[in-house]
Structure 1
Amino acid sequence: MLQLIESEVAAKPTLTTTTNPRHKPRFYAVLGGPGSGKSTICASWAKLDGGVMHIAIGDILRSEAKRPDSPYAEVLKANLAKGAIGDPEMTVGLIKDHMRTTIKAASGPIHTYLLDGFPRALASAQYFERTVGPLSGVIILDIPEATLIDRCRQRNRSDDNEDAIRERIRVYNTKSAEVVAAYHLQGKVSYVTQPPDSHIRPWTGVLSAMMMDSYLPLDIPETVLRDVVACGILIWRFCDIRYDRRGGDAR
């Protein structure tokens, strides 16, 4: 699958069309409980940068569940009701189909894919890495449960009754723990503690720092790259502290 992505990118020359491994298409998991703002952070970033593609796993699965001729419809409906996404082969297969379609429809080259709500289990992560490509990082939206429940209630979605919300939070906490632990050992996990809204907040600094080398010139030395990324992280932390103290945007 990564070869397919790279061949699509190669048809549209850009900084990302290179043999330099730093500039191959990258995949970032964005995880959090229901109502944590995963879709907001992904959609906001994709709007800012045309080279970033938002892969909304929940939307893909809900759309497939509604398709009358889908062989997965009943399984998906049952899984979605309890906050699960199903076996890796089915889920990753649907993600691949979606990516093939969106890559061809994209107006320009894609250098970064944000996996909104995926993977939720270690088996899914491992299958994705075997069949699509490695995860470059995992962003965790670490939001209090009470906030998640309140935000879900306000969405008025058919699958957002309180019992279903609590069950989905429980499933997320249980299943995601092994994913977080595995990628934490690889030094790939970053945490966001501010619930995103419709505006770009200082939490985007997390993604900026993780993705920094997607935007830098190809000939930049690796030692300089590490310093630049470290500076980006320090700037984000400073902005995040100011955000916390003021109770709003740092200005």
Structure 2
Amino acid sequence: MFFRVLGAVSRCPLHVARSLVCSVMKPLVVFVLGGPGAGKGTQCELIVQKYGYTHLSAGDLLRDERKRPGSQYGELIESYITDGKIVPVEITISLLQRAMEQIMAANAEKNKFLIDGFPRNEDNLQGWDRTMDGKADVSFVLFFDCDNETCISRCLERGKSSGRSDDNRESLEKRIQTYLQSTRPIIALYEQKGKARKVDASKSVDQVFSKVQEIFDREG
């Protein structure tokens, strides 16, 4: 059955292929959370290399959409990101869902995703549950814990070459306050459910990834 569907997928238009793939298998998701500068992106790259996940950064998808010519969301996304605020959930989820569907339509075996920087608040979580219920399975939350000053220092260093408009101290302090007020309670909720895996992100890249490997080897 599965291989018959794959054959059908290869002969279908993209929107039909997406529907066929998603009817056979759901995306398997690990949410990756932590403050700005906690090293989420770096660690996700290493996880992708070793465990075959696809890395989707909610922030990168929003920034790409902001730059896309003719985007109906571009100016709105720009204003939210610059102010350190959280973009409306409908926009973020639509971009995440589109990305997952495109990847799975191109390769049905690529159904494991790291979603980096989401859900960032209660509204994000409710929006995900409302939109993706029955359409994706969340394995656990990978939580990179790092003190605020280390996060700020890392982002300021990154800002020297990143070109990101939000890699400055004023925006970073706003983003950290947003993270503490809005995202930490979401992490705490997953901790209560036994679905959070915490890593000390203040250490070196190699030391952090060593702990990450322990988690993924254990979780399977």
TM category (shorter chain) comes to 0.7 to 0.9
Which residue of the partner structure matches residue 190 of structure 1?
197
Q: Give RMSD over aligned pairs.
A: 2.5
Which residue of the partner structure matches residue 158 of structure 2?
155
Greater RCO (CA < 8 Å, at least 6 residues apart): 2
Contact 2:22 2:101 (C-alpha < 8 Å) held by counterparts: no
Contact 2:38 2:201 (C-alpha < 8 Å) held by counterparts: no
Distance 2:218 2:18 in 1: 21
Which residue of the partner structure matches residue 84 of structure 1?
85
Does residue 70 (structure 1) correspond to residue 71 (structure 2)? The answer is yes
Does residue 180 (structure 1) correspond to residue 187 (structure 2)? The answer is yes
**Runs of 5+ consecutive residues of structure 1 not aligned to the other structure:** 12-16, 18-23, 213-251
Which residue of the partner structure matches residue 10 of structure 2?
none
Stretch of structure 1 that moved more, 201-210 or 57-66: 201-210
Which residue of the partner structure matches residue 205 of structure 1?
213
1:83 Cα offset (Å): 2.9
Contact 1:9 1:110 (C-alpha < 8 Å) held by counterparts: no
Normalising by structure 1, what TM-score? 0.70
Distance 2:92 2:214 in 1: 27
Contact 2:66 2:74 (C-alpha < 8 Å) held by counterparts: yes
* Deviations, residues 24-69 of structure 1 (Å, cap 9, x unaligned): 642111101111111111111111233x111111110000011231
Distance change (3 Å), C-alpha of 1:174 and 1:207? same
**Runs of 5+ consecutive residues of structure 2 not aligned to the other structure:** 1-16
SS in 1 for 2:72: coil
Distance 1:67 1:126 in 2: 27
SS in 2 for 1:203: helix
Which residue of the partner structure matches residue 28 of structure 1?
30
Higher-helix-fraction structure: 2
Contact 1:32 1:142 (C-alpha < 8 Å) held by counterparts: yes
- Quick one: percent identity of the two aligned structures? 32
Q: Which amino acid aligns with 2:139?
A: S
1:82 Cα offset (Å): 2.8
Q: How many residues align?
A: 196
Distance change (3 Å), C-alpha of 1:54 and 1:144? same
Does residue 115 (structure 1) correspond to residue 115 (structure 2)? The answer is yes
1:105 Cα offset (Å): 3.3
Q: Which amino acid aligns with 2:193?
A: Q
